[in-house]
Every structure is written in C-alpha cells, then in structure tokens.
Amino acid sequence: MMKKDPIRVAVTGAAGNIGYALLFRIASGQMFGPDQPVALNLIEIEPGMAALKGVAMELDDCAFPLVTDIVQTAELDVGFNDCDWALLVGSVPRKAGMERADLLGINGKIFVGQGQAINDHAKSSCRVLVVGNPCNTNCLIAMKSATDIPNEQFFAMTRLDENRAKTQLAQKAGVPVKEVSDLCVWGNHSPTMFPDFYNTRIARQKATDVIGDETWLKETFVPTVGQRGKAIIEARGASSAASAANAVVDTVRDLTTPTRGSFHSVCVHSSGEYGTPPGIITSMPITVDAVGNWRVVGGIGLTDYAKEQIAASNEELLEERKIAFEQLGLSI
C-alpha cells in the first residue's frame, strides 16, 4: 500500500482541559483513521508552555505509531506553519454565572491574530474548526481575518449539542442512542440554539410520535440541551472537556469522510439557506459527498415554531457580530 503523507494538525490551547482529552485521540487515529499518519503542532501561550511540555512528553510515552512529529510553540507563525487543519480551542472558558457571549470581549481578539497567522502560514487548503467560545462569532472573526482562505473552510462546533440532544431523546424514549437520527441543532452555540425534534427520527419513526409529548419537547428537552454546558459547569466545577473533545473528533471525522446516515450539525458560513442571514456562521445540517465536499442539506421542512426559534438564535448571532466587529474594528 502507498504510504500516506501526514496530515498536519494545529491545536491551540493544547495544554488545556479539552486539549488534554483531544490530542491523544487524534494521535491514536480516531480522527483521521487508523492508517493516516498525523503531525501535531501544539500551540499555547507562554504561561502554558511548561504544562505543554508535559503533555508532549506523555504523547511521546504513548509511542503512537501514526505520529510523525510534534511541534510545541507559543509562536503562531510556527504553530500554523503548513497545517492542514487548525483546531482553535485555546481561549478562556466561562465560569458559573456567565453566558458564553460574555467571553466575547475576552476571547474575540485572539481569533484576529490566529486568523491572520493561518492565512499567512497554513496550507491554502487548511480547514479551521473553532471550539473556543463564543465559537460561532470567534469563527467569523478568524474567517474575516484570513482573507485568502475560502469561507467554506471555516467551521464552528455544535456537534456536542447534537450528541447531547440525541442522548436526551434516547433516554426519554428508552432506546439506545444509535436509534436517534436526523437531529440538527440550528443557530448559535448558546442557550438559544434549536435542536429540531420535529425532523428527528427515533428507530426510524418520527420523534414527536415516539415521545408523544410536545410540551415536554418544547419546555424540557429544548432548554435542557441549551443549558447543558451550564449544568456541566455546575456539576464539575469546570466546563465540559472530554465530551467536547469527543465532539471535535466527531466533527472533523465527519467532515473528512462521506456522511454515514443523514447529516450532522456544523456551524458554517451561511449563504442564506433556510432564510438564515447570509454571512454569519450558524449551525445547519451538513452532509459530505464521496469526494469530500460538504453542503447544507436541502429540503428539510421546518415548522413555524422551528422557524421562529432558529430566527431568534440567528438574530443573536447578528447582535454578537455587531458587538465584536465594533470592538475589533472589523467590517462586515
């Protein structure tokens, strides 16, 4: 068999909680497959470099056969050099009592410099997944700052919300989670996100028929999914890390392999699909074809309630964009 060239993956915040849960899964082949070599560019800020050294030592100690080399750096030009994927995790997580949007002023500016460095040093085909919150708007900031990289190569993460929503429905229906399909989380990765239970299937039947309780779906299920990040912070005293890393693996794997099943939720640059405001990064149902191109799935019927919820979440994204772009001097 022909030897594959390594995929070079840059990860920011590599010594943080998500980084620690993520790197070993990339290195073991769970993201790009069991015969795909990977090179890791681990990026931290200076105060994180000592801990990063320890993480890199542990990666060495795993003797992962797929890992070709590991770069440790606080320099963005070195960190993003020649990378195929940039996983932008590094940023401050919220604490109890905060909303994700409260992080805009703290984290937004990070993504200007990172977008510019990706533009100047990564491969032109580099794909970027933003995890650091508020991830939709941070992704938009990075995209605007990487003027030569096509907008289609920027993504933000709502797969954790999709996974959470599937499990909530599976538990309510008393079935294994693999029976839940066709579930798209729309909008912003914030409490306004809308997990569309109307189009969801449970064991191939309509979820609304299986659950048989629309009030529960609207008044318990939707807010539980929207507030799950907060509930984890309250329970753990720290924001979700292993489940977030798992969702990063799921997102990248499902953007790099033909879609199994129907679709998955990913925040992408809107061209106005389903009436979303063009130009924002918002969550929609995505499929990937046999040659690796993604597209928004067409023809999904949305109820008036769903349309209202999605519109409200996208309205919030327009507001976040306005605040962030004013702060950072970016133009729409």
Phi, psi dihedral angles at 69 (to 5 degrees):
-165, 160
Nearer to ligand LMR, 103 or 173 (CB): 103
Site for ligand NAD in 147-176 (CB under 6 A): 157, 160
Determine the residue with CB nearest ligand NAD.
16
Active site annotation includes 121: no
Considering only the stretches 44-52, 55-63, 163-171, 211-219, report the one whose residues sit in contact with ligand NAD under the rule CB under 6 A.
44-52
What's the closest the beta carbon of residue 133 comes to ligand NAD, in angstroms?
4
Q: Bridge partners of 18?
A: none
Phi, psi dihedral angles at 91 (to 5 degrees):
170, 175
What's the closest the beta carbon of residue 159 comes to ligand NAD, in angstroms?
8
Question: How many chain residues interact with ligand NAD (CB under 6 A)?
Answer: 29
Q: Bridge partners of 181?
A: 201
Token duo for residue 241: 């890390």
Q: Which residues contact 196 (CB under 8 A, 6 or more apart)?
A: 183, 184, 185, 186, 300, 302, 306
3-state secondary structure of 122: coil
Q: Determine if 48 is a binding residue for ligand NAD (CB under 6 A).
A: yes
The site partner of 44 among ligand LMR, ligand NAD, none (C-beta below 5 to 8 Å per kind) is ligand NAD
Nearest to 308 by CA among 274, 267, 270, 269: 274
Q: Determine if 199 is a binding residue for ligand LMR (CB under 6 A).
A: no
Consecutive H or E run containing 185: strand 185-186
Catalytic residue among 121, 189, 264, 269: 189
Give the per-residue contact string, 81-120, with ligand NAD (x = CB under 6 A; - = no): --------xxxxxx---------------x----------
Site for ligand LMR in 96-135 (CB under 6 A): 100, 133
Considering only the stretches 68-76, 92-100, 142-150, 306-314, report the one whose residues sit in contact with ligand LMR under the rule CB under 6 A.
92-100
Token duo for residue 264: 């998955």
Token duo for residue 27: 């290195």
Give the per-residue contact string, 131-150, with ligand LMR (x = CB under 6 A; - = no): --x-----------------
Give the per-residue contact string, 1-30, with ligand NAD (x = CB under 6 A; - = no): -----------xx-xxxxx-----------
By the 8 A CB rule, do 103 and 94 touch? Answer: yes
The site partner of 232 among ligand NAD, ligand LMR, none (C-beta below 5 to 8 Å per kind) is ligand LMR
Neighbouring CB atoms inside 10 A of 209's CB total: 9
Strand blocks (E) in 260-315? 264-269, 281-288, 294-296
Q: Determine if 246 is a binding residue for ligand NAD (CB under 6 A).
A: no
Helices (H), 85-241: 104-107, 110-121, 135-145, 159-173, 207-211, 214-216, 222-226, 228-236
Nearer to ligand LMR, 38 or 139 (CB): 139
Q: Which of 21, 40, 70, 160 binds ligand LMR (CB under 6 A)?
A: 160
What's the closest the beta carbon of residue 324 comes to ligand LMR, in angstroms?
17
Q: What is the dihedral of CA 128, 68, 247, 210, to 10 degrees?
A: 120
Q: Which residues contact 46 (CB under 8 A, 6 or more apart)?
A: 74
Instruction: Tell me which residues touch ligand NAD (CB under 6 A).
Output: 12-13, 15-19, 43-45, 48, 89-94, 110, 131-133, 135, 157, 160, 189, 239-241, 244
Question: Residues interacting with ligand LMR, by CB under 6 A?
Answer: 93-94, 100, 133, 160, 229-230, 232, 239-240
Looking at the annotation, which residues are catalytic? 189
